[in-house]
Amino acid sequence: MKLIRSIYVIATAGVALGFASCSASGDHPGYEYAPQMYNSVAYEPLTQIVNEDEGKWVSTREDEKGEFFNSNINNPHRMNMREPVANTVPRTKDGLLPYRLKAFELEKAAELENPVELTDEVLEDGRLLFLQYCKACHGINGEGDGLAGEVIGGVANLKGGAYVDLPEGHIFHVIMKGKGRMGAHGTQIPQERIWKIVHYVKQEIQKQ
């Protein structure tokens, strides 16, 4: 019984000593157990470490490469992102091409037709998107009385004057590229969603 107790005490002391040796203090940062489990090596899309021995001294990787080696050896040029196929143009998941018109090309934009089919589901999506992106300035009913709009001043009342007769393409373009006090939202909202907002503005906001 004494022997078992002694073994238990020694084992407990050993474990405690082991944990204590991992603790950080002063200039000593401490040791990490299995660091790759919580400090994963992320693939970087544009910059890679190609030296397979980089970080070898701290590495516990199963492939025996350095801890900081992060290049994808399966892609050409060790790139972690795929280059698009030569002479191709990227499209959205719904097949839309990148929007090419410049901010000043409003007249051309006015000729655009909404490629998103108008359905009840699309209108509901448009309503939710309007509340998310537009309500703060334009207000819940599009009358330019949102809380942020009151601070900024001069926010368009989408129900008033010439705004009611604006073509869908014009509204889409202004949301994409911005105009006057209206900031450009093309980098924040995908095309399909902007077209849904346009449907909601034309079918619901301006017909209330």
- Per-residue pLDDT tens digits for 64-99: 888 888 888 787 777 777 777 888 888 877 788 889
Contacts with 98 (C-beta within 8 Å, 6 or more apart), sequence order: 89, 90
Q: Which two tokens stand for residue 9?
A: 């005490």
Give the pLDDT confidence score for residue 16 in this predicted structure. Answer: 65
What pLDDT, on a 0 to 100 scale, did the predictor assign at position 104?
92
Instruction: Return the ∠ at Cα 112 (arms to 165 and 171), rounded to 5°.
Output: 45
3-state secondary structure of 22: helix
pLDDT at residue 81 in the model: 73
pTM: 0.61
State CA 162 to chain mean position distance. Answer: 35
- Residue for token pair 């001294």: 57
Residues 195, 172 contacting (CB under 8 angstroms) = yes
Question: Could you tell me the sign of the dihedral formed by the alpha carbons of 31, 36, 41, 42, in that order?
Answer: negative
Q: What pLDDT was estimated at residue 19? A: 63
Q: How far apart are CA 48 and CA 80, in angstroms?
A: 8
What does the pLDDT read at residue 175?
96
In the chain, which residues have pLDDT < 50?
A: none
pLDDT score for 18 = 63
